[in-house]
Amino acid sequence: MRITLTRRKFIKWSAAGALAMPGLSRAADRPLLSHGVQSGDIEATTGVVWARSDRPARLHIEVATTESFKDARRLAPIETLSATDFAVKRLLSGLPPGQTIFYRMAFADLAQANVMSANIVGRFRTAPASRRAVRFVWSGDTAGQGWGFNPDDGGMKTYATMARHDPDFFIHSGDKNIVAEGVEKVAETLDEFRGRWKYNLHDENLRAFNAAVPTFCQWDDHDVMDNWSASKDLSRDERYKEKSIAVLAARANRAFHEMMPIRAIAEEPSRIYRKISHGPLLDVFFLDLRSYRGPNGPSLETRITPKSRILGEAQMRWLKQALSDSKATWKVIASDMPIGVIVWDDWKARKG
């Protein structure tokens, strides 16, 4: 069953069907779901949901296959603290394949358990167990380089347009926020990287989209800084007090994992490359072409060396094996950069 979510319906969902818990009436006393809800990395029986509070809180989640939540299953609550900027995500499991899943989220103040936030409801479709047509949308580069969103002009209307097509999921191939170009202050601290992510989530179109369409995400250079690699030299860049690219990349990576509904890989918490299966017809392979690459240079190597690698040895081995093991009819490789196409940073001088 396909359900088209308009902004009006999103607001109605968010206001209706409160979790059956006591609360105080004064809105100022209540926690906030400050940046809406998100879902991502949905497979046949599992999926990730995300929310953020404005304070230490306990997240309550209900999951149902009916919009009325008459068959709701309440999950054990989980706490969120300042260590993750009050963002929290959870892997839902035991879901029925090929169905629309509704989830309802609310925060309880940790200091006053009877003080509850308002609810926000989201939904997604689990991947089918049988062969079924799949529809997804794909993009990247949400905002930056001097451009943001203007509510007076309707905000990020592209997200509203994509939502009207009611896709099964959305692949976002990086540069979801721009942290250095076209801004007064580059992002350096962990809180500054987090702030860039939160900025986009103030847009109503994006929040409504996130409540209705799962996002499968990866990152690209601008999620850290323009054209970064481990060899990036910031010694003469006066914009940066922090000169270590490794430190900046680690902070950006942590903010990415905190703020996006990406599955956690226990043995490699910072890893982004992975495979998501969407039924027997489709496997999607997400690459990370930034974290393991050789140093940026003229790229004129005539043989494969550590300097010429862009995936790194481990990721390349993983990709070859995962593609070989895949039984899906369609194998989509989501790459944050064009493979085999030269894209000059300085197109006039044809370099970079």
What CATH number does the domain containing 77 carry? 2.60.40.380
In a domain, 261, yes or no: no
Give the predicted TM-score (pTM) of the model. Answer: 0.88
127: which residues sit within 8 A by CB, 6+ positions away? 42, 43, 44, 97, 98, 168, 277, 278, 279
Inter-residue contact 72 to 157 (CB < 8 Å) = no
In a domain, 205, yes or no: no
Measured distance CA(81)–CA(99) in Å, rounded = 33
Alpha helices in the chain (DSSP H): 7-15, 157-164, 190-200, 204-212, 245-259, 313-325
Measured distance CA(40)–CA(215) in Å, rounded = 5
Domain count for the chain: 1
In a domain, 191, yes or no: no
Measured distance CA(106)–CA(117) in Å, rounded = 6
Residue 18 is predicted with a pLDDT of 52
Q: DSSP assignment of 118-155, as one string?
A: PPEEEEEEPPPSS-----EEEE---SBTTB---GGGTS
In a domain, 82, yes or no: yes
Residue 297 is predicted with a pLDDT of 72
Fill in the amino acid letter for 81: L
User: Shortest CA distance to 11 belongs to which of 44, 47, 36?
Assistant: 36
List of the chain residues with pLDDT < 50: 1, 15-17, 20, 22-25
Residue 43 is predicted with a pLDDT of 98
Fill in the amino acid letter for 15: A
Q: What sign does the CA torsion over 38, 41, 42, 45 have?
A: negative
In a domain, 56, yes or no: yes
In a domain, 71, yes or no: yes
Q: Residue 100 sits in which domain range?
A: 7-19+31-125
Measured distance CA(310)–CA(293) in Å, rounded = 4
Pair of tokens at residue 155: 């905000």
User: Shortest CA distance to 89 belongs to which of 136, 48, 58?
Assistant: 48
Pairing relation of β-strands 47-52 and 87-92? antiparallel
In a domain, 340, yes or no: no
In a domain, 14, yes or no: yes
